[in-house]
Amino acid sequence: MHSRRPTHSGPPRTAHPLPRPVGREAGLSQPSRVQRPVARVLIPAMMLAMAAATVAMPATARAEIPFNPNIVADVAEKVTPAVVNITTRRDRRNPMARRFREFFRRLPPEMGAGSGVVISANGDIVTNNHVVEGADEIRVAFADNREYRAKLVGADKSSDLAFLKIEAKNLPYLEIGDSKELRLGEFVLAVGNPFGVGQTVTMGIVSAKGRANIGIVDYEDFIQTDASINPGNSGGALVNLRGQLVGINTAILSRSGGAQGIGFAVPTTMVKPIRDQIAKYGRVRRGWLGVSIQDLTPDLARTLGLNKVDGVLVSDVLRGGPASRSDLRAGDVIVAVNDRPTKTSAQLRNRIALTRPGTKAKLDVVRDKKNRQSVYVTLDEKDEDGPVASRNGSNSDDILDGVEVVDLSRELRQRLRVPTALTGVVVSDVAPGSPADEAGLQSSDIIVEVKGERVTSVQQLNQLVSQYKKEVLLRVFTRGSFQYLVISR
């Protein structure tokens, strides 16, 4: 049961684009005279059906369906004045210039471009961190040719957000909407300055929400859209058809460098708390829970007696961390944070990170196959270099045949740097292709529990495992953290 580690560490891969079939090559025959009248009948019928559906829908839903092109034009006219072009200048100073002035001259400055969104009448602007990072000068230009020099108020590399300020009053700005209210298939507009050609508006739909593990930034909860987001759109606005800001356009998946229908925007549910923290503290203070976690798999859910594969398994409670001062335990499955359903490790990390340190977080957990119960943890502040919650790899299935273990001696404890208080047995060998190997068990792993029972010796391990004929749940200490494995015979 492999732990399903990523097979590459680079940017996400995309599939090769498929050629679009046309005409006969697409398996279509040329239209005949018999087919044309059918088309004439179908088109009015379809229009009538759409009109009937529109009448049957609630007023709020009808307002979001742009059968009238003026709806899109009206929204575009409303939002474009608040989306700005951002240009940056970075001085590239040659470190050898002072020492060898006669041989070296100052290098020309490096220029950059992107987009930004005005979010207050007094000149507050949000953009991407990568648009302004390292800039010596930042300038902001409006569509009406007004231009201002901008000051960097604060930035957060972990979410790729940055906040600027310009000295101006009565500026057009966008209302910040609630990205949680977005629905799949809802129409959105992307506004920005792609390729530096000038302000551009593209239209698409919300393709997905809560996209994470893309590998773009540390904290990911992206809105995915097929609205074209091209180079230069970074930092621009993603708006709904009410003209509200719902996301900051950030990245695309592409083989060519241009838009291919997969764009990502940072949701406003992340923008607002980060903006508030930077305004109050000058930096982002993230909450820290102090646990190791892993995603549930069908095997783990079944073994733990859960009906759904929803939730996040706590594989360890870190000693001295905030969770250790609460009733949270290893083996608990966290299903909600502050009454918000939490299905994945990424969701848990984001929600804890965006909760202010010192806040008492409410965690709904399932424990010992019983009903949900609430555990309250007062969060500490996350160390800048430490994880909010360690995420272990997910696991799959199957057996202890082919596994050799030895008692945890003092010498092995020192060599493997095993914590003093930890008891268990050391895995000395795992046969290739064995069920345990497939499960992800490795040499030097420490088996510390069998189905919740602590392991202190090889003899005890054998006794505990012998009780289970088909599958067994192990808790192991591996590479400095704890992890659960389901091994089936």
Domains of the chain: 79-165 (2.40.10.120), 179-281 (2.40.10.10), 287-391 (2.30.42.10), 403-488 (2.30.42.10)
Please tell me the total number of residues recorded for the chain in this structure.
Answer: 489
Structure confidence at residue 237 as a pLDDT band (50, 70, 90): very high
Strand-pair category, 390-391 with 291-295: parallel
Structure confidence at residue 231 as a pLDDT band (50, 70, 90): confident
For residue 146, pLDDT beyond 60:
yes
Greater model confidence, 23 or 369: 369
* Rounded average pLDDT over 317-328: 89
For residue 43, pLDDT beyond 80:
no
pLDDT at 44: 39
Structure confidence at residue 6 as a pLDDT band (50, 70, 90): very low
* Rounded average pLDDT over 302-322: 86
pLDDT at 196: 62
pTM above 0.75, yes or no: no
pLDDT at 373: 92
Structure confidence at residue 177 as a pLDDT band (50, 70, 90): very high
Residue 440 zone, left/alpha/beta (φ > 0; ψ -120 to 50; rest): left
What would the two tokens of residue 305 be? 């007696």
Structure confidence at residue 416 as a pLDDT band (50, 70, 90): confident
Cβ atoms of residues 408 and 448 within 8 Å: no
- As annotated, the active-site residues are 130, 160, 234
For the chain, give the percent of residues with pLDDT over 90.
Answer: 41
Q: What's the rounded Cα separation, in Å, for the pair 229 and 201?
A: 10
Residues 83-139: tens digit of each pLDDT = 999 999 887 654 444 444 444 445 566 677 899 999 999 999 999 999 999 888 999
Residues 32-41: tens digit of each pLDDT = 333 323 233 3
For residue 459, pLDDT beyond 80:
no
For residue 256, pLDDT beyond 70:
no
For residue 358, pLDDT beyond 70:
yes
Residues 331-344: tens digit of each pLDDT = 999 999 999 999 98
pLDDT at 389: 57
Q: What's the rounded Cα separation, in Å, for the pair 471 and 139?
A: 63
pLDDT at 466: 78
Q: What's the rounded Cα separation, in Å, for the pair 283 and 297?
A: 36
Tell me the sheet residues that pair with 75: none
* Rounded average pLDDT over 159-171: 95
In sequence order, which residues have a C-beta less than 8 Å from that of residue 384 and are 6 or more positions away? none
pLDDT at 99: 46
In sequence order, which residues have a C-beta less than 8 Å from that of residue 166 and are 6 or more positions away? 123, 125, 140, 148, 149, 150, 151
For residue 60, pLDDT beyond 60:
no
Q: Which of 101-110, 258-267, 272-281, 417-426 has the highest mean pLDDT?
A: 272-281
For the four alpha carbons of 211, 213, 214 and 220, in that order, the dihedral sign comes to positive
Greater model confidence, 401 or 279: 279
* Rounded average pLDDT over 386-412: 62
Cβ atoms of residues 74 and 203 within 8 Å: no
Residue 257: C-alpha distances to residues 156, 199, 206, 215, 232 (Å): 25, 19, 21, 17, 12
